[in-house]
Structure 1
Amino acid sequence: MSDAARLRTTTARFVASHSVLTLDARHPYVAKSLVDAQEMHRTVMSGFRGWVDDGSSDARAQMGILSTWSINLKEAALVLVVQSKVAADWGQLPNGVLREAPHSITVDRTFRIGDTVGFRAVVNPTYSKRQTAPGREQTRGRRVAHTNPDGVRRWCARHFGDGHGSVGGTGGTADPGTISVRMLPTVSSSTSHKGLKITRAELRGALTVTDPTAFVTALSDGVGHARAYGCGLILVR
Protein backbone atom coordinates (compact mmCIF):
# COMPACT_ATOMS: atom_id res chain seq x y z
CA MET A 1 0.00 0.00 0.00
CA SER A 2 1.31 3.47 -0.91
CA ASP A 3 1.84 6.13 1.75
CA ALA A 4 -1.03 8.15 0.26
CA ALA A 5 -3.43 5.20 0.39
CA ARG A 6 -2.40 4.38 3.94
CA LEU A 7 -3.04 8.00 4.97
CA ARG A 8 -6.53 7.90 3.48
CA THR A 9 -7.45 4.85 5.55
CA THR A 10 -6.07 6.13 8.84
CA THR A 11 -7.30 9.74 8.74
CA ALA A 12 -10.52 11.53 7.88
CA ARG A 13 -11.41 15.21 7.70
CA PHE A 14 -14.51 16.76 9.24
CA VAL A 15 -15.82 20.12 8.00
CA ALA A 16 -19.03 21.75 9.21
CA SER A 17 -20.54 25.09 10.17
CA HIS A 18 -21.48 25.73 13.79
CA SER A 19 -23.83 28.48 14.96
CA VAL A 20 -24.10 29.33 18.65
CA LEU A 21 -27.17 31.38 19.55
CA THR A 22 -28.06 32.83 22.95
CA LEU A 23 -31.80 33.51 23.09
CA ASP A 24 -34.04 35.22 25.62
CA ALA A 25 -36.09 32.43 27.21
CA ARG A 26 -38.69 34.98 28.34
CA HIS A 27 -39.55 35.95 24.76
CA PRO A 28 -42.85 34.27 23.68
CA TYR A 29 -41.21 32.87 20.52
CA VAL A 30 -38.53 31.10 22.58
CA ALA A 31 -40.95 30.08 25.34
CA LYS A 32 -43.08 28.31 22.75
CA SER A 33 -40.03 26.43 21.47
CA LEU A 34 -39.22 25.29 25.00
CA VAL A 35 -42.63 23.71 25.54
CA ASP A 36 -43.07 22.16 22.08
CA ALA A 37 -40.40 20.08 20.32
CA GLN A 38 -41.88 20.76 16.89
CA GLU A 39 -41.63 24.51 17.49
CA MET A 40 -37.96 24.10 18.48
CA HIS A 41 -37.44 22.20 15.21
CA ARG A 42 -39.00 25.11 13.30
CA THR A 43 -36.75 27.58 15.12
CA VAL A 44 -33.67 25.62 14.06
CA MET A 45 -34.82 25.21 10.46
CA SER A 46 -35.66 28.92 10.14
CA GLY A 47 -31.97 29.65 9.62
CA PHE A 48 -31.78 27.63 6.40
CA ARG A 49 -34.49 28.88 4.06
CA GLY A 50 -33.87 28.59 0.34
CA TRP A 51 -31.19 25.90 0.35
CA VAL A 52 -33.58 23.11 -0.69
CA ASP A 53 -36.98 23.02 -2.36
CA ASP A 54 -39.92 23.91 -0.13
CA GLY A 55 -41.64 20.79 1.18
CA SER A 56 -38.63 18.48 0.78
CA SER A 57 -39.22 15.55 3.12
CA ASP A 58 -35.52 15.19 3.94
CA ALA A 59 -34.52 18.86 4.03
CA ARG A 60 -32.79 18.57 7.41
CA ALA A 61 -30.72 15.57 6.32
CA GLN A 62 -29.80 17.19 2.98
CA MET A 63 -28.39 20.22 4.79
CA GLY A 64 -26.79 18.14 7.54
CA ILE A 65 -28.61 20.05 10.25
CA LEU A 66 -28.19 18.82 13.83
CA SER A 67 -28.77 20.79 16.99
CA THR A 68 -28.60 20.74 20.75
CA TRP A 69 -29.72 23.21 23.37
CA SER A 70 -29.46 23.95 27.06
CA ILE A 71 -31.43 26.28 29.30
CA ASN A 72 -30.24 28.47 32.18
CA LEU A 73 -33.47 29.20 34.02
CA LYS A 74 -31.85 31.59 36.48
CA GLU A 75 -30.49 33.73 33.64
CA ALA A 76 -33.52 33.05 31.39
CA ALA A 77 -31.08 32.16 28.60
CA LEU A 78 -31.43 29.42 26.01
CA VAL A 79 -28.17 28.44 24.32
CA LEU A 80 -28.75 26.76 20.97
CA VAL A 81 -25.94 25.08 18.99
CA VAL A 82 -26.68 24.26 15.36
CA GLN A 83 -24.42 22.26 13.04
CA SER A 84 -24.89 22.26 9.27
CA LYS A 85 -23.25 21.61 5.91
CA VAL A 86 -24.38 25.02 4.65
CA ALA A 87 -24.22 28.54 6.06
CA ALA A 88 -27.07 29.67 8.31
CA ASP A 89 -28.86 33.02 8.17
CA TRP A 90 -30.54 33.90 11.46
CA GLY A 91 -31.97 37.20 10.21
CA GLN A 92 -35.45 35.65 10.11
CA LEU A 93 -35.69 35.42 13.90
CA PRO A 94 -38.13 37.92 15.49
CA ASN A 95 -36.80 41.11 17.03
CA GLY A 96 -35.75 40.74 20.64
CA VAL A 97 -35.19 36.99 20.49
CA LEU A 98 -31.39 37.10 20.44
CA ARG A 99 -29.50 38.22 23.52
CA GLU A 100 -26.42 38.83 21.35
CA ALA A 101 -25.30 38.38 17.74
CA PRO A 102 -25.04 34.72 16.66
CA HIS A 103 -21.52 33.30 16.81
CA SER A 104 -20.64 31.29 13.69
CA ILE A 105 -17.50 29.23 13.15
CA THR A 106 -16.25 26.76 10.57
CA VAL A 107 -15.05 23.51 12.13
CA ASP A 108 -12.25 21.87 10.14
CA ARG A 109 -10.53 18.95 11.88
CA THR A 110 -8.65 15.85 10.81
CA PHE A 111 -9.04 12.73 12.97
CA ARG A 112 -6.63 9.83 13.14
CA ILE A 113 -6.82 6.30 14.48
CA GLY A 114 -6.00 6.41 18.18
CA ASP A 115 -7.01 10.05 18.72
CA THR A 116 -8.83 10.56 22.02
CA VAL A 117 -11.35 13.39 22.15
CA GLY A 118 -13.63 14.72 24.84
CA PHE A 119 -17.26 14.77 23.81
CA ARG A 120 -20.72 15.91 24.81
CA ALA A 121 -23.95 14.68 23.28
CA VAL A 122 -27.66 14.75 24.03
CA VAL A 123 -29.17 11.49 22.78
CA ASN A 124 -32.47 9.68 22.55
CA PRO A 125 -31.45 6.36 24.15
CA THR A 126 -33.79 3.68 22.82
CA TYR A 127 -33.75 -0.05 22.21
CA SER A 128 -35.95 -2.51 20.35
CA LYS A 129 -38.19 -4.53 22.64
CA ARG A 130 -39.34 -7.73 20.95
CA GLN A 131 -42.84 -8.95 21.55
CA THR A 132 -44.02 -12.53 21.37
CA ALA A 133 -47.70 -13.26 21.01
CA PRO A 134 -49.00 -16.56 22.42
CA GLY A 135 -48.48 -19.34 19.89
CA ARG A 136 -46.61 -17.07 17.50
CA GLU A 137 -43.05 -16.28 16.65
CA GLN A 138 -41.45 -13.10 17.93
CA THR A 139 -42.73 -10.00 16.20
CA ARG A 140 -40.64 -7.04 15.20
CA GLY A 141 -39.64 -5.09 18.30
CA ARG A 142 -41.09 -1.71 19.20
CA ARG A 143 -38.83 1.13 20.16
CA VAL A 144 -38.63 1.72 23.91
CA ALA A 145 -36.65 4.41 25.73
CA HIS A 146 -34.08 3.82 28.45
CA THR A 147 -35.20 5.94 31.39
CA ASN A 148 -32.30 5.54 33.84
CA PRO A 149 -28.49 5.96 33.67
CA ASP A 150 -27.78 2.21 33.74
CA GLY A 151 -29.95 1.70 30.68
CA VAL A 152 -28.33 4.65 28.92
CA ARG A 153 -24.89 3.14 29.55
CA ARG A 154 -26.10 -0.04 27.86
CA TRP A 155 -27.09 2.16 24.93
CA CYS A 156 -23.57 3.64 25.00
CA ALA A 157 -22.04 0.15 24.94
CA ARG A 158 -23.96 -0.59 21.74
CA HIS A 159 -23.15 2.68 19.99
CA PHE A 160 -19.64 3.33 21.31
CA GLY A 161 -18.51 -0.28 21.43
CA ASP A 162 -15.23 -1.81 20.37
CA GLY A 163 -15.62 -0.59 16.81
CA HIS A 164 -16.36 -4.08 15.43
CA GLY A 165 -20.06 -4.56 14.81
CA SER A 166 -21.49 -2.01 17.24
CA VAL A 167 -24.90 -0.95 15.95
CA GLY A 168 -24.10 2.74 15.88
CA GLY A 169 -21.03 2.39 13.66
CA THR A 170 -19.67 5.58 15.23
CA GLY A 171 -16.02 4.75 14.69
CA GLY A 172 -15.23 5.71 18.28
CA THR A 173 -14.99 3.59 21.40
CA ALA A 174 -15.50 4.42 25.07
CA ASP A 175 -15.85 2.55 28.34
CA PRO A 176 -19.54 3.10 29.23
CA GLY A 177 -18.62 3.14 32.91
CA THR A 178 -16.56 6.29 32.42
CA ILE A 179 -19.31 8.22 30.60
CA SER A 180 -21.19 10.73 32.72
CA VAL A 181 -24.94 10.34 32.19
CA ARG A 182 -27.57 12.92 33.15
CA MET A 183 -31.22 12.29 32.41
CA LEU A 184 -32.90 15.34 30.91
CA PRO A 185 -36.58 16.30 30.88
CA THR A 186 -38.68 14.64 28.19
CA VAL A 187 -39.65 16.94 25.32
CA SER A 188 -42.97 16.61 23.55
CA SER A 189 -45.36 18.24 21.09
CA SER A 190 -49.06 18.87 21.38
CA THR A 191 -49.48 20.59 18.02
CA SER A 192 -48.75 19.12 14.58
CA HIS A 193 -46.99 16.10 16.11
CA LYS A 194 -49.42 15.45 18.93
CA GLY A 195 -48.29 12.52 21.05
CA LEU A 196 -44.59 13.02 20.27
CA LYS A 197 -42.49 12.31 23.37
CA ILE A 198 -38.71 12.13 23.35
CA THR A 199 -36.64 10.78 26.22
CA ARG A 200 -33.27 12.51 26.43
CA ALA A 201 -29.95 11.95 28.19
CA GLU A 202 -26.82 14.08 28.23
CA LEU A 203 -23.53 12.21 27.83
CA ARG A 204 -20.07 13.53 28.68
CA GLY A 205 -16.85 11.59 28.37
CA ALA A 206 -14.01 10.64 26.05
CA LEU A 207 -13.94 8.62 22.83
CA THR A 208 -10.98 6.96 21.16
CA VAL A 209 -11.16 7.02 17.36
CA THR A 210 -11.00 3.51 15.88
CA ASP A 211 -12.28 4.24 12.36
CA PRO A 212 -11.79 7.88 11.29
CA THR A 213 -14.12 7.64 8.29
CA ALA A 214 -16.98 6.19 10.37
CA PHE A 215 -16.27 8.71 13.14
CA VAL A 216 -16.53 11.67 10.76
CA THR A 217 -19.79 10.21 9.41
CA ALA A 218 -21.15 10.01 12.96
CA LEU A 219 -20.13 13.61 13.61
CA SER A 220 -21.78 14.72 10.35
CA ASP A 221 -24.97 12.64 10.53
CA GLY A 222 -25.48 12.28 14.28
CA VAL A 223 -26.19 9.18 16.33
CA GLY A 224 -29.42 7.53 17.42
CA HIS A 225 -32.99 8.69 16.87
CA ALA A 226 -34.83 12.04 17.18
CA ARG A 227 -32.14 13.94 15.28
CA ALA A 228 -34.73 16.47 14.10
CA TYR A 229 -35.53 17.28 17.74
CA GLY A 230 -32.20 18.24 19.28
CA CYS A 231 -30.73 14.76 19.75
CA GLY A 232 -27.75 12.99 18.18
CA LEU A 233 -25.24 15.82 17.74
CA ILE A 234 -21.78 14.81 19.01
CA LEU A 235 -19.71 17.83 20.03
CA VAL A 236 -15.99 17.13 20.45
CA ARG A 237 -13.12 19.14 21.83
Structure 2
Amino acid sequence: MGHHPVTAPSTKAARFVASQALLTLDARYPLVARSLIDAQDMHRTVMSGFRGWVDDGSRDARAQMNVLSTWSLELREARLSLVVQSTVPGDWGGLPRAALAEEPRTLTLDRTFRSGETVDFRAVVNPVRSKAPPPGGEGRTRGRRVAHTRPEHVRKWFARRLQAPGEPSVAPDGLTRIGAVTDPEGVGVRMLPFASSAGPHRGLRIGRAEIRGSLTVTDPAVFVEALTRGIGHARAYCCGLILVR
Protein backbone atom coordinates (compact mmCIF):
# COMPACT_ATOMS: atom_id res chain seq x y z
CA MET A 1 0.00 0.00 0.00
CA GLY A 2 1.28 3.48 -0.80
CA HIS A 3 1.54 6.17 1.85
CA HIS A 4 -0.89 9.05 1.58
CA PRO A 5 0.77 12.46 1.95
CA VAL A 6 0.03 14.12 5.27
CA THR A 7 -1.63 17.48 4.72
CA ALA A 8 -1.66 20.27 7.28
CA PRO A 9 -5.11 21.15 8.62
CA SER A 10 -6.78 23.99 6.76
CA THR A 11 -7.54 25.89 9.96
CA LYS A 12 -5.16 26.80 12.74
CA ALA A 13 -6.33 26.39 16.31
CA ALA A 14 -5.24 27.33 19.84
CA ARG A 15 -6.52 26.26 23.23
CA PHE A 16 -7.49 28.72 25.96
CA VAL A 17 -7.49 27.50 29.57
CA ALA A 18 -8.19 29.76 32.56
CA SER A 19 -10.01 29.91 35.88
CA GLN A 20 -12.91 32.32 36.18
CA ALA A 21 -14.86 33.40 39.26
CA LEU A 22 -18.11 35.33 39.45
CA LEU A 23 -18.51 37.20 42.73
CA THR A 24 -21.86 38.81 43.51
CA LEU A 25 -21.28 41.28 46.32
CA ASP A 26 -23.48 43.52 48.47
CA ALA A 27 -22.57 47.06 47.38
CA ARG A 28 -23.69 48.41 50.79
CA TYR A 29 -21.12 46.37 52.71
CA PRO A 30 -18.24 48.72 53.72
CA LEU A 31 -15.44 46.71 52.02
CA VAL A 32 -17.43 46.59 48.78
CA ALA A 33 -18.61 50.21 49.00
CA ARG A 34 -15.01 51.32 49.44
CA SER A 35 -13.86 49.19 46.49
CA LEU A 36 -16.43 50.98 44.33
CA ILE A 37 -15.12 54.37 45.36
CA ASP A 38 -11.38 53.65 45.29
CA ALA A 39 -9.69 51.79 42.40
CA GLN A 40 -6.79 50.74 44.62
CA ASP A 41 -9.20 49.14 47.10
CA MET A 42 -10.89 47.28 44.22
CA HIS A 43 -7.44 46.02 43.17
CA ARG A 44 -6.80 44.77 46.72
CA THR A 45 -10.20 43.03 46.83
CA VAL A 46 -9.45 41.22 43.57
CA MET A 47 -5.91 40.22 44.60
CA SER A 48 -7.09 39.00 48.03
CA GLY A 49 -8.11 35.75 46.34
CA PHE A 50 -4.54 34.90 45.29
CA ARG A 51 -2.47 34.91 48.47
CA GLY A 52 0.47 32.49 48.55
CA TRP A 53 0.93 31.95 44.82
CA VAL A 54 3.85 34.39 44.50
CA ASP A 55 6.29 35.93 46.97
CA ASP A 56 4.87 38.69 49.17
CA GLY A 57 5.71 42.11 47.76
CA SER A 58 6.35 40.80 44.24
CA ARG A 59 5.88 43.82 41.97
CA ASP A 60 4.34 41.91 39.07
CA ALA A 61 2.19 39.44 41.04
CA ARG A 62 -0.92 40.20 39.01
CA ALA A 63 0.89 39.74 35.68
CA GLN A 64 2.54 36.49 36.82
CA MET A 65 -0.87 34.96 37.51
CA ASN A 66 -2.58 36.77 34.61
CA VAL A 67 -5.23 38.11 36.99
CA LEU A 68 -7.77 40.15 35.04
CA SER A 69 -11.10 41.48 36.27
CA THR A 70 -14.13 43.50 35.35
CA TRP A 71 -17.18 44.61 37.29
CA SER A 72 -20.66 46.01 36.82
CA LEU A 73 -23.03 47.56 39.33
CA GLU A 74 -26.79 47.16 39.73
CA LEU A 75 -27.69 50.32 41.62
CA ARG A 76 -31.33 49.36 42.33
CA GLU A 77 -30.38 46.00 43.86
CA ALA A 78 -27.09 47.36 45.34
CA ARG A 79 -25.24 44.42 43.82
CA LEU A 80 -21.72 44.41 42.44
CA SER A 81 -20.95 41.67 39.92
CA LEU A 82 -17.20 41.07 39.79
CA VAL A 83 -15.65 38.67 37.25
CA VAL A 84 -12.08 37.57 38.00
CA GLN A 85 -10.05 35.52 35.52
CA SER A 86 -6.62 33.99 36.16
CA THR A 87 -4.28 31.15 35.22
CA VAL A 88 -4.34 29.88 38.82
CA PRO A 89 -7.52 29.32 40.87
CA GLY A 90 -8.58 32.02 43.30
CA ASP A 91 -9.68 31.32 46.87
CA TRP A 92 -12.53 33.57 47.99
CA GLY A 93 -12.97 32.07 51.47
CA GLY A 94 -11.34 35.16 52.96
CA LEU A 95 -14.13 37.50 51.88
CA PRO A 96 -16.48 38.41 54.75
CA ARG A 97 -19.67 36.36 54.56
CA ALA A 98 -21.75 39.51 54.94
CA ALA A 99 -20.13 40.97 51.81
CA LEU A 100 -21.49 38.15 49.64
CA ALA A 101 -24.93 38.54 48.08
CA GLU A 102 -24.49 35.02 46.60
CA GLU A 103 -22.01 32.20 46.95
CA PRO A 104 -18.95 32.69 44.69
CA ARG A 105 -19.14 30.67 41.49
CA THR A 106 -15.97 29.38 39.88
CA LEU A 107 -15.48 27.55 36.61
CA THR A 108 -12.64 26.32 34.45
CA LEU A 109 -12.62 27.75 30.95
CA ASP A 110 -11.22 25.29 28.40
CA ARG A 111 -11.96 26.20 24.82
CA THR A 112 -10.26 25.80 21.47
CA PHE A 113 -10.46 28.72 19.06
CA ARG A 114 -10.05 28.22 15.32
CA SER A 115 -9.14 30.58 12.54
CA GLY A 116 -12.31 31.98 10.97
CA GLU A 117 -14.45 31.38 14.08
CA THR A 118 -16.68 34.30 15.12
CA VAL A 119 -17.39 35.06 18.78
CA ASP A 120 -19.37 37.72 20.64
CA PHE A 121 -17.27 39.76 23.04
CA ARG A 122 -17.45 42.41 25.74
CA ALA A 123 -14.56 44.31 27.33
CA VAL A 124 -14.03 47.29 29.61
CA VAL A 125 -10.87 49.04 28.46
CA ASN A 126 -8.69 52.01 29.34
CA PRO A 127 -8.44 53.74 25.94
CA VAL A 128 -5.60 56.25 26.05
CA ARG A 129 -3.32 58.14 23.71
CA SER A 130 0.12 59.51 24.40
CA LYS A 131 0.27 63.29 24.52
CA ALA A 132 3.70 64.63 23.59
CA PRO A 133 5.53 66.66 26.26
CA PRO A 134 5.58 70.42 25.70
CA PRO A 135 8.55 71.64 23.67
CA GLY A 136 11.42 72.68 25.87
CA GLY A 137 9.95 70.84 28.86
CA GLU A 138 12.56 70.01 31.49
CA GLY A 139 13.43 66.34 31.91
CA ARG A 140 10.39 64.85 30.16
CA THR A 141 11.05 62.82 27.06
CA ARG A 142 7.93 60.63 27.17
CA GLY A 143 4.41 61.80 26.58
CA ARG A 144 1.72 61.43 29.21
CA ARG A 145 -1.29 59.21 28.78
CA VAL A 146 -4.55 61.00 28.10
CA ALA A 147 -7.86 59.10 28.13
CA HIS A 148 -10.13 59.13 25.09
CA THR A 149 -13.56 60.44 26.05
CA ARG A 150 -15.50 60.07 22.78
CA PRO A 151 -16.87 56.80 21.38
CA GLU A 152 -15.46 57.42 17.89
CA HIS A 153 -11.95 57.77 19.35
CA VAL A 154 -12.41 54.55 21.35
CA ARG A 155 -13.36 52.74 18.13
CA LYS A 156 -10.17 53.99 16.48
CA TRP A 157 -8.17 52.91 19.55
CA PHE A 158 -9.66 49.42 19.24
CA ALA A 159 -9.28 49.28 15.44
CA ARG A 160 -5.51 49.73 15.77
CA ARG A 161 -5.38 46.45 17.73
CA LEU A 162 -7.26 44.39 15.16
CA GLN A 163 -5.26 41.90 13.10
CA ALA A 164 -6.29 41.15 9.53
CA PRO A 165 -5.39 37.69 8.11
CA GLY A 166 -1.69 37.47 7.35
CA GLU A 167 -0.72 40.50 9.44
CA PRO A 168 1.95 40.12 12.15
CA SER A 169 0.93 40.09 15.82
CA VAL A 170 2.87 43.31 16.47
CA ALA A 171 2.09 46.44 14.45
CA PRO A 172 4.93 48.51 12.91
CA ASP A 173 4.61 51.01 15.79
CA GLY A 174 5.09 48.24 18.37
CA LEU A 175 1.43 47.88 19.34
CA THR A 176 0.35 44.33 20.21
CA ARG A 177 -2.58 43.09 18.14
CA ILE A 178 -5.32 40.70 19.28
CA GLY A 179 -5.45 38.00 16.57
CA ALA A 180 -8.96 38.91 15.44
CA VAL A 181 -10.80 41.35 13.20
CA THR A 182 -14.15 43.10 13.04
CA ASP A 183 -15.79 46.15 11.51
CA PRO A 184 -14.95 48.90 14.04
CA GLU A 185 -18.09 50.81 13.07
CA GLY A 186 -20.17 47.83 14.18
CA VAL A 187 -18.67 47.85 17.68
CA GLY A 188 -20.88 49.29 20.40
CA VAL A 189 -19.13 51.74 22.74
CA ARG A 190 -20.36 53.07 26.08
CA MET A 191 -18.29 55.59 27.99
CA LEU A 192 -18.05 54.74 31.71
CA PRO A 193 -17.26 56.89 34.76
CA PHE A 194 -13.58 57.44 35.55
CA ALA A 195 -12.04 55.21 38.23
CA SER A 196 -9.86 57.01 40.76
CA SER A 197 -8.04 56.59 44.05
CA ALA A 198 -7.28 58.77 47.06
CA GLY A 199 -4.55 58.51 49.67
CA PRO A 200 -1.08 57.59 48.42
CA HIS A 201 -2.50 57.02 44.95
CA ARG A 202 -4.06 60.47 44.74
CA GLY A 203 -4.06 61.56 41.13
CA LEU A 204 -4.80 58.06 39.81
CA ARG A 205 -7.59 58.63 37.29
CA ILE A 206 -8.51 55.90 34.84
CA GLY A 207 -10.69 56.56 31.81
CA ARG A 208 -12.92 53.60 30.98
CA ALA A 209 -15.13 52.49 28.10
CA GLU A 210 -17.15 49.34 27.50
CA ILE A 211 -16.94 47.87 24.01
CA ARG A 212 -19.20 45.11 22.66
CA GLY A 213 -19.53 43.33 19.36
CA SER A 214 -18.31 40.28 17.47
CA LEU A 215 -14.78 39.24 16.51
CA THR A 216 -13.58 36.86 13.81
CA VAL A 217 -10.44 34.98 14.85
CA THR A 218 -7.54 35.40 12.39
CA ASP A 219 -4.60 34.14 14.48
CA PRO A 220 -5.79 31.76 17.21
CA ALA A 221 -2.53 31.72 19.19
CA VAL A 222 -2.43 35.53 19.35
CA PHE A 223 -6.14 35.65 20.18
CA VAL A 224 -5.65 33.26 23.12
CA GLU A 225 -2.74 35.43 24.31
CA ALA A 226 -5.04 38.49 24.25
CA LEU A 227 -7.71 36.60 26.21
CA THR A 228 -5.10 35.46 28.75
CA ARG A 229 -3.16 38.70 29.23
CA GLY A 230 -5.79 41.32 28.41
CA ILE A 231 -5.49 44.45 26.27
CA GLY A 232 -4.47 48.02 26.90
CA HIS A 233 -3.38 49.73 30.11
CA ALA A 234 -4.81 49.69 33.68
CA ARG A 235 -5.15 45.90 33.80
CA ALA A 236 -4.53 46.07 37.57
CA TYR A 237 -7.64 48.27 37.80
CA CYS A 238 -10.34 46.08 36.22
CA CYS A 239 -9.59 47.02 32.58
CA GLY A 240 -8.49 44.86 29.67
CA LEU A 241 -10.36 41.59 30.25
CA ILE A 242 -12.01 40.33 27.03
CA LEU A 243 -15.07 38.19 27.79
CA VAL A 244 -16.24 35.99 24.91
CA ARG A 245 -19.14 33.67 24.31
Match of 1:123 in 2: 125
CA distance in 2: counterparts of 1:37 and 1:147, whole angstroms: 19
Higher Cα radius of gyration: 2
CA distance in 1: counterparts of 2:78 and 2:215, whole angstroms: 32
Aligned pair 1:222/2:230, yes or no?
yes
Match of 2:112 in 1: 110
Cα RMSD of the aligned pairs, angstroms, is 2.0
Q: Residues 48 and 89 of structure 1 are in contact (CA less than 8 Å); yes or no, is this contact kept in structure 2?
A: yes
Quick check: 168-177 or 34-43, which moved more? 168-177
Match of 2:144 in 1: 142
CA distance in 2: counterparts of 1:2 and 1:225, whole angstroms: 44
TM-score (normalizing by structure 2): 0.90
TM-score (normalizing by structure 1): 0.93
Q: Which runs of 5+ in 2 are unaligned?
A: none
Match of 1:233 in 2: 241
CA distance in 2: counterparts of 1:148 and 1:109, whole angstroms: 34
Aligned pair 1:199/2:201, yes or no?
no
Q: Residues 38 and 192 of structure 1 are in contact (CA less than 8 Å); yes or no, is this contact kept in structure 2?
A: no
Instruction: Tell me how many residue pairs correspond in the alignment.
Output: 233
Equivalences for residues 90-109 of structure 1 within 5 A? 90-109=92-111
CA distance in 2: counterparts of 1:131 and 1:174, whole angstroms: 33
Q: For residue 95 of structure 1, report the CA deviation from its aligned partner.
A: 2.7
The alignment partner of 1:200 has SS state of strand
The alignment partner of 2:201 has SS state of coil
Q: Residues 158 and 168 of structure 1 are in contact (CA less than 8 Å); yes or no, is this contact kept in structure 2?
A: no
**Identity within the alignment, %:** 62
Match of 2:198 in 1: 190
Amino acid at match of 2:82: L
Q: For residue 191 of structure 1, report the CA deviation from its aligned partner.
A: 2.1
Quickly say closer, same or farther: Cα 1:162–1:100, change in 2 above 3 A.
same
Amino acid at match of 1:129: K
Q: Which structure features the higher share of strand residues? A: 1
Match of 1:71 in 2: 73
Q: Which runs of 5+ in 1 are unaligned?
A: none
Q: For residue 105 of structure 1, report the CA deviation from its aligned partner.
A: 0.5
Amino acid at match of 1:198: I
Q: For residue 193 of structure 1, report the CA deviation from its aligned partner.
A: 1.4
The alignment partner of 1:91 has SS state of coil
Quick check: 46-55 or 167-176, which moved more? 167-176
Quick check: 150-159 or 71-80, which moved more? 150-159
